[in-house]
Amino acid sequence: MTGRLSTQAVHAGEERPKLYGALTTPIVQTSTYTFEDTAEILEFMRQKATGDMPSRVDYGRYGNPTQSAVERKVAVLEGGDRALLFPSGMCAITTTLGALLSAGDHLVMVRDAYHRTREFATTFLTRWGIETTFVPVDDPDALASAIRPNTRLFFSETPTNPYLFVMDLSSMVETARAHGITTIIDSTFATPVNLRPLEHGVDLVIHSATKFLGGHNDLLAGTVVGSSRLLSQIEEARKVLGGVASPHDAYLLLRGLKTLELRVQRQNDNAQRIAMFLEGHKAVRSVYYPGLPSHPQHELARRQMAGFGGVVSFEIQGDGDRTSRLVDLLRVPYIGPTLGGVESIVEQPAALYSLDRAERQEAGLKDNLVRYAVGIEDPEDLISDLSQALDGIQS
């Protein structure tokens, strides 16, 4: 499908005309696929044996037409050869790492990666004889110094959660290529609207499609995008491990992707305005948003990204209790742990991470930190609501 991003988001990956003349891609709700006769089975097996891409599948764990439409669309949006759909972002991450790493290998991961991703590395990968070194996302020298002869993968997020640090993709790719290391970027916070890591030389891009790609807080899904060579390895692991998204979730994701650019552009604009407002408020100690000149990697973000994203994190002047009051005083956003949907959602990350203060500090989560996942509401309403809540904690 040719065209710019918004046109691709609507049309790419979907058959035309569609089955039954439907405008939307149907939900193919089946667990198995039947054959007309034995000759059709033998032809199907011949295609598999010779390495040809079969024109069909025989069982739901190996594919589904609704799922395939999503995969084709995401591949086009990210500029990859192929994409694979999973039932969650974590399933995409764990299957990818499991497929590409073996006992005795070494992984380098940024310290600011999602805590469940880090937990997978420090528990399961360690159990399987795979070591992980954690490095700061903003220190290219530390990344280079962490390399060992058995280093196979670099894994980073950009922007990171919740402090929105930005990985220098060109520097990372240059270092990795010099040592034959595969690079993986979790680009959930950026989306292909704001950043296409494959264009910077990154090998694989992962999304928690639950977030911005789905956009409506009504599904769980994950995607991996990259070259056919790497995706074939990950697909074989998916067939064995069974991480298959349901046809209905695939349909919901397909629907959400059609408005991706419209939603993300509005969220970019809203987040920029909110970040600027917060930075000027006396009750706010610091604001973390790549679109602000005060952000330590603002210039890198300007060079690398087309937009700065729909999440703003900030610290207030005060302790954890005062921060909780602020969250409770907000009236427009819901309180919850996710992001990327049309509704604004706010959280105090420390409160949802652990009751143990030492564990929160070890994870780098300050008690006075707020993460505001901006929706598509009117920015004036969001700012007015923030203003009344910030004023309320000072009274």
Q: Which residues are catalytic?
A: 61, 114, 186, 211
Burial status of residue 52 (CB atoms within 10 A of its CB: 0-12, 13-18, 19 or more): exposed
Distance separating alpha carbons of residues 120 and 133, to the nearest angstrom? 13
User: How large is the greatest C-alpha to C-alpha distance in the chain, in angstroms?
Assistant: 79
Q: At what angle do helices 260-279 and 379-392 cross, to 10 degrees?
A: 30
Look at the block and give the residue holding tokens 């995409």. 92
DSSP letter at 183 equals: E
Closest Cα to residue 81, out of 231, 299, 237? 231
Backbone angles phi, psi at 28, to 5 degrees: -90, 90
Distance separating alpha carbons of residues 322 and 392, to the nearest angstrom? 10
Distance separating alpha carbons of residues 393 and 45, to the nearest angstrom? 67
Per DSSP (E only), the strands in the chain are 82-86, 106-110, 131-135, 151-157, 182-186, 204-208, 222-226, 284-288, 311-316, 334-335, 345-347, 369-373
* Sign for the pseudo-dihedral over CA of 11, 13, 15, 21: negative
Name residues whose C-beta falls within 8 Å of residue 279's C-beta, 6 or more positions apart in sequence: 287, 292, 294
Q: Are 106 and 152 in contact (CB under 8 A)?
A: yes
Both ends of the chain: CA-CA distance in Å? 57
Name residues whose C-beta falls within 8 Å of residue 235's C-beta, 6 or more positions apart in sequence: 84
